[in-house]
Chain A
């Protein structure tokens, strides 16, 4: 019987929630990395036992964790065993050492996200726009999103703040910036949103390995068709009243993108305001907010078996950031947008004032598609029937930052 493994990142650690295909009896494991923020965890589609996690802290920086046994044990990729603390005659300073033929030992490479400053690709990428309109240097803060390759368990992309895309081809042991994104020309005009200037969405396309979609707050959506060498903004049709030029090429606060593998030319977007749809791979967009009670929200996802069925969680904004009327409602459209129905059975319909963040919704691939989401109040919900009914998996976790689900054989 198939089973599911739900990977939950929270403000104070990670949790792994497991159940068989019925999705009624759940085992909760955690907290892993207790006390650390886990911005995102995601498993490889090629090898489900391979899971990557972004562990970070305002105090101690960024740590990448990797599991090769489905989350039972974790390691910092490529980190060597430490020396014995009592070893004699150790000279700790590199300048006191005999040079090694292999060069100095490298440690911590899996956690190092160094922006490309090479003359070939990185030289012009020195600054972006700051809140006050001045130019500001790019400064790495954290990894928001990890996207494992669809074909290679050792290949993984990282979306980071300040916004950039990094790639690892060695199982996250080392990272190189995909510099063409920041360098395509509009980078100096990108500016941070309220949550920072983060590259939070990476969408890979099955059978089209050279096509990648990314989204940045607050710059917009971008696409490469050549594996990351060159990029173009894909924001035509977006309208953002809160920026000086509402239909500018960049500057839009895109919150999340989603597509269905069977219909990859159709892309759905939850923007700061507006739910949008593109039918031409992002070349143009139209609004499909329709009858939603609020067109603001963070996550958006597509049913595993029906490319026209889409899910969002409307949130009241701009300052409130909680569900309209205190009712936690997932909205489902079976027609690719415009017509939306509230899904409420099992969700709190009074006095609910939580938020659902952009990476905190996922769908499984079981025959009856399961929908999952987590809240800033620490609840994780599952619908084992495509949204018709909801159950609480966990009620009192730390604030949930991300939810991913693995469908296991």
Chain B
């Protein structure tokens, strides 16, 4: 199972704890994880990716193994420890403001 950590605003919307687990078949990519996330939690559709463009929202970031994957292709395969569930994929609301 893939582990995904959601920011607080999305936990509230999805009525979940911080971490959710998803069954995502290989190859595990950002796009596949987000597709599956929206299938399991339809109320999150459009919150991570824009409804119309399907592009990542500007103030949302993805981290895997401590590295920023926000600007990687959504179809690029994620590291094996993310795919194996050893480490979670972090979806982060960017810190902004003071």
Contacts and interface: CB of A to CB of B under 8 A. Distances in A.
B38 A94 contact: no
Nearest to A88: B23
B83 interface: no
A60 B39 contact: no
Contact of A108 (B24, B38, B59, B60): B38
Interface string B23-63: 11100000111011011111101111011100001011000
Nearest to B36: A92
Contacts of A85: 1, 20-23, 36, 40
Contacts of B22: 85
A61 B46 contact: yes
Contacts of A61: 46-47, 50-51, 57
A107 B38 contact: yes
B90 to A, nearest CB: 14
Nearest to A82: B40
Nearest to B35: A92
Contact of B23 (A58, A81, A90, A94): A90
A92 B60 CA distance: 21
Interface residues of A, number: 35
Interface string A75-115: 01001111111111111111000000000000110011110
Nearest to B32: A92
Query: Which residue among B7, B24, B46 has the maximum number of chain A CB atoms within 10 Å of its CB?
Result: B46
A79 B45 CA distance: 9
A155 B1 CA distance: 42
A377 B76 CA distance: 47
A356 B16 CA distance: 36
A35 B8 contact: yes
Interface residues of B, number: 37
A33 interface: yes
Given A35-B9, A86-B21, A59 B59 contact: yes
A111 B38 CA distance: 14
Contact of B39 (A34, A82, A113): A82
A202 interface: no
B18 interface: no
A60 B56 CA distance: 10
B44 to A, nearest CB: 8
Contact of A111 (B10, B23, B46, B94): B46
A106 B42 CA distance: 9
B40 A83 contact: yes
Contacts of A93: 31-32, 35
Nearest to B39: A83
Contact of A59 (B39, B41, B45, B57): B57
Residue among B10, B20, B23, B24 having the largest count of chain A Cβ atoms under 10 Å = B23
B84 to A, nearest CB: 16
B36 A60 contact: no
A84 B40 contact: yes
Contacts of A60: 9-10, 13, 47-48, 57, 60, 93
B5 to A, nearest CB: 14
A62 B31 CA distance: 21
B46 A90 contact: no
B42 A80 contact: yes
A313 B8 CA distance: 36
A34 B15 CA distance: 12
Contacts of A79: 42-43, 45
Contacts of A82: 39-43
Contact of B12 (A34, A111, A114): A34
Contacts of B9: 35-36, 57, 59-60
A108 B52 CA distance: 10
B20 to A, nearest CB: 7
A33 to B, nearest CB: 7
A400 interface: no
A405 interface: no
B18 to A, nearest CB: 14
A59 B35 contact: no
Interface of A: 33-36, 57-63, 76, 79-94, 107-108, 111-114, 140
30 contacts: A34-B12, A35-B9, A57-B9, A59-B7, A60-B47, A60-B60, A61-B47, A62-B46, A63-B13, A63-B43, A76-B42, A76-B43, A79-B42, A79-B43, A82-B40, A82-B43, A84-B40, A85-B20, A85-B40, A86-B21, A87-B23, A90-B25, A92-B24, A92-B35, A92-B36, A107-B38, A111-B46, A113-B51, A114-B51, A114-B52
